[in-house]
Chain A
Amino acid sequence: MKKPALIILFLVMTIVVLSLFKTFLANRISTSGMVLGDIQQQISYYKTENAILSEKVYSMSSLTYVSKEAKNLGFVQNSGDFVLTNPLPIALKQ
């Protein structure tokens, strides 16, 4: 009769230990959903921020914008290129 009592006690103890462990674990991870949510929100925020900044970069580096700004700043188009059509002698052989 002793053996079944030991087994029952062992099982009961196991259940108690496991229950406590489960409670501890549940307590530990109960807020991880919120953390996960925060991280997801942050990712979403940075993605949005990145997209908005990219849009600004593209707008401000477009030739349409650059040429408009250059005009406002008083830049003028180069009227002509200077090209040497024939190679000039560097030193004449005496």
Chain B
Amino acid sequence: MRLTALLAAALFWLAPVPALAEGEAAAIVAANRDQIEKPSRQSIGQVVTALAASGDPMADDILAAWAEKRLVVRKADQALFLATPEGDGFALTALDGTPAGTAAKAELTALKPNAGVRSVISSALVQFTLSDPDPAKRRAALDSIARDTSPETLAPLRASIPTEDDPGLRAQKERLERILALRFDPDSAARVAAIRALGTDTALDTRAALNPLVATTRIAALKAPGGNVARVLVPGRDLTEAEAYDLLVAANLAPARLTAEDQRAALVANIVEGKVGGVPVADLNTEAARDRAYTALEASGAVPVAATDDEAAKVLAAHRFYDVFTEPDPAVTTAATDALAKIDRKVAAMQAVDLGLDALSLAAIYFLAAIGLAITFGVMGVINMAHGEFITIGAYTGYVVQLFVPDYTLSLLVALPLAFAVTFAAGVAMERLVISHLYRRPLETLLATFGISIALQQILKNVFGTQARPLTAPAWLDGALTFNDVVSISYIRIAIFLLALLFLLFFLWLMKRTRLGLEARAVTQNPAMAASMGINPDRIAMLTFGLGSGIAGIAGVAIGLYAKVTSEMGADYIVQSFMTVVVGGVGNVWGTLAGATMIGSLQKLIEFLNPSNTLAAQTYMILFIILFIQFRPRGIIALRGRAAGD
């Protein structure tokens, strides 16, 4: 009777004049005043629906205020207002939106809908915003539902889908509807359908929604539990016997075992005249003697009886252990398990792609760091131990440039050639002053350049201090190129990759297409013959050394962009660079590329297999390289001819 009246009232207010919505909400409230002041969950739905459908801009304010207990009755005239806390009292707003002055707390009675009513109101509010004419508001509402999922939001979300005209938002709504449905829909078939419909969506929120469905608890019981059993566990195979016994103890199915500390404490507490249970204290220095003493104490009743190994085994054998799904519906858990397995496979594939990208970018860094070393080693047969310091000098050049040029893009454009110039000059100076005097003494060159390395590193430390200096990348290099929740790569790494590619092409051009490259290759193959042909090996050596050092400087800027610039940063890369050269083979750009790719991929792979421990990863990588040298002592791409003979 009441219901029909209410419905009639709602229809009466709704049907005739939807266009003149202003003030409509106030009228609905007035018509249903008694319902609103003493609402019940069963019947209030009609009023809320009527309000929600009224089209009055005030309706959602009223509903929101009501849900938040801010809809108040003024005691003086029993009129309804929206109250907003202001100073000691409240600012009042009439239901049609006009301000209505202020009132003290004592003058007002707030309407306090119970939790059931509030949930009806809030789902109505959701529907409000989900059908808002402004797409931005609809999107915000979707986001807030996705953040804070609750069963009440499912129905309004579903209701809002047919009227959604924005295709992007509609897809988003449908997806969210599935995520909500698989958790909250009362119908098992609908939940399974929702899980199926999601398919192999690898997004984090899908996985976050599916994972609770397959959550299990581990229980011990005498017979099979009634719930949705995930699997039966066998002690000794699926879990250790100690864990199984701990489960029994936790479920109060068995007494706790006697720990060594408890036994010790019990024995100490029962020392009588230098003896415990008839065993002299001095003899209690073995487990066996202590067990004897404890058994004697048990027999006399002085200590509680502890489970022996036999008893523990018996109890274990008597019980069964299960993983039980917290979700009671087997159809849902099966579907979720399947879906997760499929998603896991897809995620694994994507992780492989991501790993590949990481490996490529690491290889690019190693290539940049090692190419200069490989060129000088190939042409001159000397290893430049100060190469790492040239990398550092390049990075510090970038840092100093940024001190003078505040614009990061511009400073980067200045720093790259400047770093090249500075380290080129340093390299040529070092070659002229030291290395040219030590030709044909490669081991001494190694040590002399090492002496320079020590000195340079310490000088840099003295000049720039020990703390890390920033080398800031321009804003357009911030962030990452994100393909999905799994695969992403930062722009800096892409830039470094492109830089490495650029240098690869540059070196190929230099070595194959220029006079200098021709002469350098000749000197690499046979310096004496090259000299006889009128090539000046000293000049070639000087230029290649300068070039190799210059590229170290550029590599330093590139590395400095994503790592901190310290005086030791070059030393961190030097061993990897050596490895790259040794593995790749000397005097060949392709060899260095192959070496860098191999070392980079290998390092990433080992880190992936053993993610907790990057130190171990490096250890294993070096071990691998030592073994690799066994099979290809001259590297992946070895020089042929006389140069390989020494």
Verify that A and B bind, or say they do not.
no
Which A residues contact B (CB, under 8 angstroms)? none
